[in-house]
Structure 1
């Protein structure tokens, strides 16, 4: 019977059919719709020397169950063939880094099991397996159960109707005890899984030492009782029973005793939870779920001790006694302790973690400059960077100096780890280490602890190192004896490349042996990857990266800058930082509350370090860094995002207040008034209003509906509070530009939000609406009247494509302009049309043209070009698509350009203006005051 095929029935039971489980790729793997599934089925030779697969039925159940689930969900293709799935059976010891675990368990027979710390565990067989994994630093959820228990969920026909019982008793031994029981009672565990399931379903009672015979009996509701195995620990049995609510199960030792004891209680099992934990993302391409909270190795180790203590009590295991013979529970607990404490993952721990568990650190003391090893150690943390890591390594390994590359993989799930193994096999300079504790900070610390080079550099797994970069930085340190060498860097994305440092004085020339106070603009850049450190300095200063969700390098970098006796500056570009889109990138995750809180917490530490340095130059640069650069970017990114649950707003406000207090200023004095306003609102606890202000500061990037809802929030605030944002020219100017953009929107999707904002402004600051002809009389107009004016403007779709000035103003307009429409100039301060003229077809180019007499215009008033509908008298805004005409001192008009286009201002003629300039010059000479 093929996987996913409904079992055929005869007398209500499964009919045996030839096993057709799938494409076997090895003794340990089977392809199930594109994903490699681990299951144990090696070949063995018989007495005549012929080999054949073992075909122990319990080890073949995993692919059956997996295929059925995937086919039921109608998903056909694997998203990635690089990750394997471990499900049914005690196959955990076959796991590779990054494998996914769903329902399998630890094998109690094998004493040495170096389980990869990067296992992606979704569910396990029972709590004993969970305790072992947790002791090794592997996070495992409390989702228990053998997937074979799902047989009735996946094949309801198995239990849909009563079945006649053909056997009163079925005894199934495990694979290593096939000769233990009488042949008349025994049913071999070897063979077609459906045939064995059929025999179990037709039995009145099941016993034996085959764990999966007992599991299937539980699944089908067949009474059963385990018999204690003679050739292995009871670890896996008690793991399964404890995971199904039967920690106090009693083992029989013979078939007769099993019949006398009768069946064990029915399992307490949450099928829905186990199914929900199924890793469908391996097929669906949805991406592996990220843990809500990652615990450190030391936290997990302590939790495992608590779990093991609770399990000893639940299983009723006695306290260990060297002279006492252990019962089944005692044997399982003894095995649990041994498996939990043996093979700690020392290589993937930091020296701090190693010391905490009593293990020797990798580096016993701070290295000297004459320490053995390569000249340079390059530490690269990696997490899900398979598309880029090869390119990164090419750029690092091409550097012209003796180096080692320490790649610390931080629980990658996209096949990065397998690729790293292949790359390391091809180049002995590469060493791959699996981090136990999650996080980029810990990964960097592990790498720096293992580093053997005289110098130390950090690189990210998706960036590039410029040719000759490390040679230039190391040569500078060799020549100067400084502690750190800085290099310039660029950022790039799929569409552009730019220099974040172009306005920094630091990289204008090479310098050696200076202090950071001598070039304070170095403080603007606090990544770890564009510099090389003397490793003895790194160790002596005891620098390390905190494990925080965001900005884990700013504190150690500031510490290093301030602690360095001397630093060098290499003006060449040494590093290229890749900004990449996608949900997994740091850029995308930076919008979360966790990321912002992490950043603010780290920034407060930096502020204290800068304050303690007592350097006016560094303090000045640092204040600008917070109010105009990094601090503003982090806050604005969060405020502009969909913040969802506002439960952490108070925490964020408190951290902003603490940071500003550490800056030593009474009021945020950002260069940009809009940025300062956002900080002021946060300090006042007005985070919703601060979010609105942050959105309107970058209105080109905000969706129209979000933008107008933000303006509505600001306008309603202005109506209620004394400190009115709209009273500030920068905000009122942006409001007018946003409203005009809304008028010209290509559809009506954002009109509800637009008119809501207009209504709020009409209540709080109606005079501002005069700048937009369509809304100039909004306070006295209904919503339908405003919509009619919007429709009229949008129907014209008119653009100002040319403007000229001289003795009069010439306008050329393109669009659906009606023959009767008038070109006009509109006074935004009064809301009136001050001049209008008929239009006629343009001589050159599209649309219509008109010329307005200059002498009829008011003096020193800025006017905006509009169209006027002569029937309704409505003035209609124009899009601006004109080029800027050249300035002439003889023109009677000044043209002023803003975000919306051009403003026309009439001025006195050339002779009067020349006369006034002459008089002012003469007065200055008489008074002896210099020009200007």
Structure 2
């Protein structure tokens, strides 16, 4: 982006200042050399050469431009993405407005000799001793014979400066090019310009106290200013390549101030430093520039984009709307880079059939065109108000929206989700009728491939309720997002509920605070929110495994645990403990320990936070029922992070590659002495056998890896390898195993159905190839195979086998697994399980159990005998009770 003069009255273009034409030339050379492509379809502008910051728009990238000191009303949007600025004067003004900028200085025109080596070669013969270049707005000021108009072609201007012995100029870019080429120069005070931008350049290049000349003669008499001192490599390193390559923005260093109050304080220190650098006897131009710096810094505080805490601390008045026109409902929507979805979100919100609604969208420094999309929508609907947050962060954005809300009721929505028809009407109607503080609504989550209802098994959402408390329905604690509920705004403000600015889980503490503070709660039966689980690296879900995110979550969870400990009933505390230990905490910890980008120090920090939470709850890991979750917590508590990684990889998240799973199983088997033994629990042994069964059938798995794991397992743990027919016989030699694996994979058999009527009937399908096969029932404990009456049909490519056996022919209470046996060798084959799970029938002659590998069957007694036994046990209990009661009475 560059400045261009307005066309003339006749419509013809006016000539441009050469300095404003340098920006595209510099940018194009960098892009041609370093990127090679320039279009990622991202609608962003880069402001570089010149004093064009006052022309910036939300989301623009700033690289080397500066503040124009002569313009009184300079509006700067807080969402500027600043990579470098012309000098420290500009940086101080931006900081005073709450805009973070790194201390990387330099007008990009300084890079011309670095980008165009022909100008850095040996100096050309000097054609003149003095070159005079006036400012654009004083073209007729000088009559010196060496005067050159700034409207000259930019490359001609660069060549003329290079061919001069001395440059005296009121044109800032003539002075900048002279500095770049090493040509001696001296500034002449411009009549039409404030010295602010000149001092900005000089201070950014190591010369904060430059003296200006009032004329050409004085400039010659004063001689050249000191040579520029600056770092071209830093300026090039700050170039916004990501705008063209599509890479992620580099962001700010972790210790850089980005909050408004920090930036305001930093701006004051920057101004003090500039005054100090000006010395005890600054020139009049320096004093004028410093006065302008103070004036610009004090101008137009970004009141609308500040929280009430920031406004109070800065001594600024909070904007208060007309109370007589207050709406019924305020909807607060924080938005950060949500352009693909924000239109749908607002369409669903603005379509709500509720009279008296205001919608406040707080743009949190979006850089993808979200702000422009919001302006388009706001132009068509007066209910929508857009606010630019100053301090970065989703929590601050929500707080800003809540501070600006005027409605009787308050709801939150995210900028990429959807609100179903009638949602807000149902929430508001419930609060209007009950007088409660909060109304909860049901919600659904959806992704590009699935839809699910997280509340399906929570009793609190089974039926509508009014006027209850969190202690009446403890399962309300299971859901802690802010967007599926409406709050009475007077309750919200009286409870002083604030969202923290943290990388992860910024709503769980505010919601637990609200749940415990509310005297009355409602639950409506409507689905009031549709949460979009979106893919991609920019989503919160994608970032959930990082150490920073998990520490953030655990820190917030620790605050929640303390609130629950201090204010909740025992039942609610137990419910919350399970929420952390077996659900939310498990998900975050498993994601973290599955990740590879971790350090021991980070693991220790995570473990320390988990230990604090467990201590606050006064519950140990043993309180968790699920063996995998209990084991992970025990491993974290004991500092066995390697085995924790194995358990997290094997028992959480998306299914990992089988070869990776086998590697982790071997890690679990070969664990060092002193580490817990997961195989003491049947759960883990069954899971290992499941993966070994998969390994037998999957052609991509190397038989050597299976054999290696099997032999390791034999040495370290007495696992029941007879459960895998191919691994049952001993000794197991490589050639034998390879032959068995090849046969199992070639046949590729699957169990299709199990019928337990007058007789037990099982059916398989697969490819027979060269083998004669028959159905059997395989005893995994002994390796024995019970034969069945068998039949088969089909051809080598599509074969079906049926096996039938009478109930009485099988032993009682022994679990057997349907399988196929090679008639020629007597060896049993591992098969897949593709059958539909049968419904339980209490009259069935077989007890069926299911595990990851499929179905197991055990013959049981006749249902009449089982019924009689139950009656006998119940009668025995009834007979004992009166006796016990009489004994107690005596």
What is the TM-score when the length of structure 1 is the normalising length?
A: 0.86
Preserved contact between residue 123 and residue 162 of structure 2 (Cα < 8 Å): no
Partner of 1:105: 66
Distance 1:285 1:697 in 2: 35
Partner of 1:881: 834
Distance 1:916 1:574 in 2: 52
Q: 2:93 aligns with which of 126, 132, 135?
A: 132
Deviation at 1:544, TM superposition (A): 1.4
Preserved contact between residue 776 and residue 786 of structure 2 (Cα < 8 Å): yes
SS in 1 for 2:471: helix
Partner of 1:724: 677
Distance 2:4 2:248 in 1: 30
Q: 1:640 aligns with which of 589, 594, 607?
A: 594
Question: Closer, same or farther in 2 for the Cα pair 1:151/1:876, shift >3 Å?
Answer: farther
Partner of 1:765: 717
Partner of 2:292: 335
Preserved contact between residue 487 and residue 570 of structure 1 (Cα < 8 Å): yes
Partner of 1:24: none
Preserved contact between residue 114 and residue 345 of structure 1 (Cα < 8 Å): no
Partner of 2:887: none
Partner of 1:14: none
Q: Are 2:53 and 1:89 aligned?
A: no
Deviation at 1:105, TM superposition (A): 0.9
Partner of 1:381: 334
Distance 1:332 1:481 in 2: 59
Partner of 1:354: 311
Distance 1:851 1:156 in 2: 85
SS in 2 for 1:446: helix
Deviation at 1:88, TM superposition (A): 0.6
Preserved contact between residue 798 and residue 817 of structure 1 (Cα < 8 Å): no
Give per-residue Cα distances to partners, 1:864-892, cap 9 Å, x unaligned.
45566789987542223345679999998
Deviation at 1:441, TM superposition (A): 1.0
Q: Are 2:258 and 1:295 aligned?
A: yes
Q: Point out where structure 1 has 5 or more consecutive residues left out of the alignment.
A: 1-36, 319-324
SS in 2 for 1:657: helix
Partner of 1:557: 511
**What is the correspondence of 1:499-648 to structure 2 with a 5 Å cutoff?**
499-648=453-602
Distance 1:506 1:918 in 2: 37
Partner of 1:444: 398
Partner of 1:497: 451
Give per-residue Cα distances to partners, 1:568-603, cap 9 Å, x unaligned.
222222222222111221221222222211111111
Question: Closer, same or farther in 2 for the Cα pair 1:870/1:253, shift >3 Å?
Answer: farther
SS in 1 for 2:719: helix
Question: Closer, same or farther in 2 for the Cα pair 1:55/1:889, shift >3 Å?
Answer: closer
Q: 1:738 aligns with which of 681, 691, 699?
A: 691
Partner of 2:31: 70
Deviation at 1:150, TM superposition (A): 2.3
Distance 1:727 1:78 in 2: 59
Distance 2:565 2:816 in 1: 51
**What is the correspondence of 1:624-773 to structure 2 with a 5 Å cutoff?**
624-698=578-652, 701-717=655-671, 720-721=673-674, 723-748=676-701, 757-758=709-710, 760-773=712-725
Distance 2:411 2:843 in 1: 63
Deviation at 1:704, TM superposition (A): 3.0
Q: Are 2:166 and 1:205 aligned?
A: yes
Distance 2:481 2:762 in 1: 54
Question: Closer, same or farther in 2 for the Cα pair 1:430/1:796, shift >3 Å?
Answer: same
Partner of 2:888: none
Question: Closer, same or farther in 2 for the Cα pair 1:165/1:610, shift >3 Å?
Answer: same
Q: 1:406 aligns with which of 360, 383, 404?
A: 360
Which range moves more in the overlay, 629-638 or 116-125?
Answer: 629-638
Which range moves more in the overlay, 870-879 or 385-394?
Answer: 870-879
Distance 1:751 1:335 in 2: 78
Preserved contact between residue 23 and residue 108 of structure 2 (Cα < 8 Å): yes
Question: Closer, same or farther in 2 for the Cα pair 1:742/1:123, shift >3 Å?
Answer: farther
Partner of 1:30: none
Partner of 1:794: 745
Q: Point out where structure 2 has 5 or more consecutive residues left out of the alignment.
A: 881-890
Q: 1:311 aligns with which of 259, 263, 274?
A: 274
SS in 2 for 1:575: strand
Deviation at 1:737, TM superposition (A): 0.9
SS in 1 for 2:441: strand
Question: Closer, same or farther in 2 for the Cα pair 1:861/1:345, shift >3 Å?
Answer: same
Give per-residue Cα distances to partners, 1:218-264, cap 9 Å, x unaligned.
33343333334344333222322332334454444443444455444
CA RMSD of aligned residues (A): 3.5
Give per-residue Cα distances to partners, 1:119-164, cap 9 Å, x unaligned.
0111111222222212211111222222112223333333345533
Deviation at 1:722, TM superposition (A): 5.9
Which range moves more in the overlay, 583-592 or 863-872?
Answer: 863-872
Q: Are 2:197 and 1:236 aligned?
A: yes
- Aligned residues, how many? 875
